[in-house]
Structure 1
Amino acid sequence: MQSLNIQYNPRIDQLRWLAATIVFLFHFHLEYHGLTGASLSGPWTALITEGHTGVGLFFTLSGFLFMQIALVQKQIVYRDFLRNRVLRIVPLFLTIFLVATSIGRDKFQPQDLLYFFATNLGLAPTSGTVITGAAWTISVEFMFYMVFPFLARFAMERGVVYLGRLLVLMVFFKLAAYTVNDNSTLMYFSTFVGRFDQFLVGMAAAMLLQSRRALIERHAPWLLLVAAAVVVAATGWMHTVAPFGATPKSSFWIFWSLLESAGWAFFIVAWVSFGPRLPSLLQRALCQGGKVSFSFYLLHMGVLHLLATKVGLLHPTGMPWVDAAIMLVAAYGLTWALATISYSSIEEPFLRMRRSYGAKAAPQAAAQPL
C-alpha cells in the first residue's frame, strides 16, 4: 500500500500478506479440525496451529513501519497522523462493529457502543461471535497510534535506550499483573499490557536498521534464513511449553510477547534488507495481498465459519490431506476475492483522502480541503 510519508517498499506489503495468511491458516485449521477433519500436531507445525503469532507480526510491523516514517520525516504532526489513521482503520472497522452489534441485537445495551473503543475487553460485541472475532486487535492497535508520535519524538531525541526503558517497565507491569489475574494468558494475549512491548520492539528494530543498514544488507541472505528458523523454533517452543488456550495462567506468557516480537523483528529487518527481487508475478501477487490484508484479516473468519456451517467437509479425492488442501485453496481464494471487493468499495475511497503528516509537509497539507 502506497504511503504519502515514505518511499514505497514492497517488502512491507509482503509482510502484511504473510501476517494475514498466518492468521488465516490458524483459523482454517481450527474450523477444519472442528469438523473432525485432519489436523496438525507437533512443534514444527506450530506456525499454523499457533498462527495467532501473525498478530504479533502485525503489531511489530506497525511499530517498525511508523518508526521508519518518523526517522525520515523527523517530526510527526499529531493531528494529521491521527487523521490518517482514522481514515485507514475506521471505515471498515465501523462496518464490522455494526455487523457485530446487529448480530447481537437481542442482547444489545446502549452502553455497548462504548466497546467501539475497547473491542479487546470484556464482552465486546465483536468478540461475541466468531464472524467478527478478529476485530479485537484494532482497538489495541489504535492505542499504539495515539502515543506513537510522542514515542517517536522521545526515541529520536534520547536514542533507542529510551525504548529499552519502556520495555523494562512493561515487563514490570506484566509481572505485577500476573500476581492478581487468574486469566493472565488471555490478558497478555489481548490487551495493551500484553502487546505494547511488541510495538516498541518494532520501533527499536527500525532504529537498528537505520544505524546498521549497510552491514545488515550485506549479510541479509543468511540473516533471513536464521530469522526464519528463529521464528519457527520459538513458536514451536511456545506450542510445547504453553500453547494458547491450554491453560488460563502460565508464567511463560509473561515474556512470550517480547520473545515473539524479537523473532519477528529479526525477520522483518532481514526481509526488508534482502536485495534480490521476487519473480514479477509472485511479487505483484504478494503486494496485492498486502494491500487488501486489512479487509482479508477482518473478513476471513466470517468466510471460514460460513463455509464450515453451510458446506462442511468435502471429500473430492478421498485422500484427507489432498481434500484439506483443496478446501484450503478454495477458502483462501474466496476470502481474497471478498477482501478485494471490500478494499475497493470501503477502504480505498477513504485512503485517497489521506495527506502527509510529516512536519515539513504540514503547511501544504493543512491547506488541503477535508
Structure 2
Amino acid sequence: MKSLNLPYSVRIDQLRWFAATLVFLFHFELKWRNLGGGGIDSKWAGLIIEGHTGVALFFTLSGFLFMRIAQFQRQIAYAPFVRNRVLRIAPLYLTIFVLALSLNRDSFQPQDLFYLFTANLGDSPTSRNLITGAAWCIPLEFMFYLLFPWLSRFAMERGMRYLLQLLAMMLVFKLMAYRESVHSSLMYFSTFVGRFDQFVMGMLAAMLYQRYQLWLQRWAGWLLLPALLLAAGASALQAHVAPYNVAPHAPFWISWSMMESLVWAGVILSWVSWQGRLPGWLERGLAHGGKISFSFYLLHMGVIQMLAQKFGLPHWTGIAWLDAGLVLGTVYGLVWAVATLSYHTIEEPFLRLRGSYGAVRL
C-alpha cells in the first residue's frame, strides 16, 4: 500500500499478507476441527494452531512502519496524521460495526454504540457473532495511533533508551495485573496492557533498522531463515506451554506478548532488509495480498462461517488430507475475492483522500 509519507516498500505489504494469512489459517483450522474434520495435532505447527500470532505481527509491523515514517519525515503534524488513520480504518471498521449491530438487533442497547471505541472489552456487539469477531483489535490499533506522534517524538529525542523504558513499564503493569484478573490470559491477549509493548517493539525495530541498515542488508539472506524458524519455534512453545483459550490464568502470558513481538521484529528486520527477489508474479501477488489485508482480516471469518453453515464438512475425494487442502484453497480464494471487492469498494475511495502529515512539529 503506497503512502505519501514514506517511499513504498513491497516487503511491508508482503508481511501484511503473511500476517492476515496466519490468522486465516488459525480460524480455518478451528472451524475444520469443529466440523469433525480433525485438526493439526503437532505443537510444531504452532504458526497455524496458534495463528492468532498474526495479530502480533500486525501490531509489531504497525510500530515499525510508523516509526520509519517518523524517521523519514522528522516531524509529524498530529491532526493530519490522525485524519489519515481515520480515513484508513474507519470506513471498513464502521461497516463491520453496523453489521454487528444489525445481527444483534433483538438485543441491542443504546450503550452498545460506545463499543465502537472499545470493541476489545466487555460484551461488544462485534464479539457476539463469529463473522464480526475479528474487529476486536481495531480499537487497540487506533489507541496506538492517538499516542504515536508523541511517542515517536520522544523516541527520536531520547533514543532507544526511551522505548526500552516503556517496555519495562509495561512489564511492571503486566505483573501488577496478573493476580487481579481471573482470566489473565484473555486480558493480556485483548487489552492495551497486554498489547501495547508489541507496538513499542516495532518502533524499537525501526530504530535498529535505521542504525544498522547497511549491516542488515548485507546479512539479511543469512538471517531470514533463522528468524522465521525462531518465530515458528516461539509459536510451538506457546502451543505447548499455554495454548490460547485453554490456559486462562497462565503466568507464561505475562511475558508472552513481548517475546512474540521480539521474534516478529526479527522477521520484519530480516525480510525488509533482504535484497533478493521473488518471481515477479509472486512479488505482485503477495503485494496485492498486503494491499487487501485489512479487508481480508476483517471479512475472512464471515466467509468461513457462511460456507461452513451452508456446506458443512465436504467429502470431495474421501481422502481426509486432500479434502482439507482442496477446501482450504477454495475458501482462501473466495476470501481473497471478497477482500479485493471490499478494498476497491469501501477502502480505496477513502484512501485517495489521505494527505501528507510531515509538515508541522508537535
TM-score, normalising length from structure 2? 0.99
In structure 2, how many angstroms separate the alpha carbons of the residues matched to 1:248 and 1:44?
22
In structure 1, how many angstroms separate the alpha carbons of the residues matched to 2:308 and 2:18?
23
- The match for 1:311 is 311
Structure 2 unaligned regions, length at least 5: none
- Describe the superposition over 1:124-145 as per-residue Cα deviations: whole angstroms up to 9, x where unpaired: 0001100100000000100000
CA shift, 1:178, in A, is 0.4
- Describe the superposition over 1:168-213 as per-residue Cα deviations: whole angstroms up to 9, x where unpaired: 0000000000021111000000000000000000000000000001
**Aligned 1:266-285 pairs, distance under 5 A:** 266-285=266-285
- The match for 1:335 is 335
Tell me the C-alpha RMSD between the 2 structures: 0.8
**Aligned 1:72-87 pairs, distance under 5 A:** 72-87=72-87
- The match for 2:136 is 136
- The match for 2:265 is 265
Q: 1:14·1:286 contact (CA, 8 Å) conserved in 2?
A: yes
Q: Is 1:119 aligned with 2:119? A: yes
In structure 2, how many angstroms separate the alpha carbons of the residues matched to 1:149 and 1:9?
21
Q: Is 1:210 aligned with 2:210? A: yes
- The match for 1:366 is none
Moved more, 116-125 or 216-225: 216-225
Give me the identity figure in percent.
59
- The match for 2:13 is 13
Q: 1:6·1:72 contact (CA, 8 Å) conserved in 2?
A: yes
Amino acid at match of 2:142: F
In structure 2, how many angstroms separate the alpha carbons of the residues matched to 1:153 and 1:316?
57
CA shift, 1:285, in A, is 0.4
CA shift, 1:38, in A, is 2.6
Q: How many aligned residue pairs are there?
A: 361
**Aligned 1:17-166 pairs, distance under 5 A:** 17-166=17-166
- The match for 1:365 is none
**Aligned 1:220-239 pairs, distance under 5 A:** 220-239=220-239
CA shift, 1:33, in A, is 0.4
SS at match of 2:315: coil
SS at match of 1:131: helix
- The match for 1:186 is 186
The ranges of structure 1 where at least 4 consecutive aligned residues each deviate by more than 3 angstroms after the TM superposition are none
In structure 1, how many angstroms separate the alpha carbons of the residues matched to 2:261 and 2:60?
6
In structure 2, how many angstroms separate the alpha carbons of the residues matched to 1:194 and 1:75?
29
Moved more, 221-230 or 148-157: 221-230
In structure 2, how many angstroms separate the alpha carbons of the residues matched to 1:227 and 1:148?
27
Amino acid at match of 2:331: A
- The match for 1:367 is none
Q: 1:38·1:321 contact (CA, 8 Å) conserved in 2?
A: no
TM-score, normalising length from structure 1? 0.97
SS at match of 1:36: helix
Structure 1 unaligned regions, length at least 5: 363-370
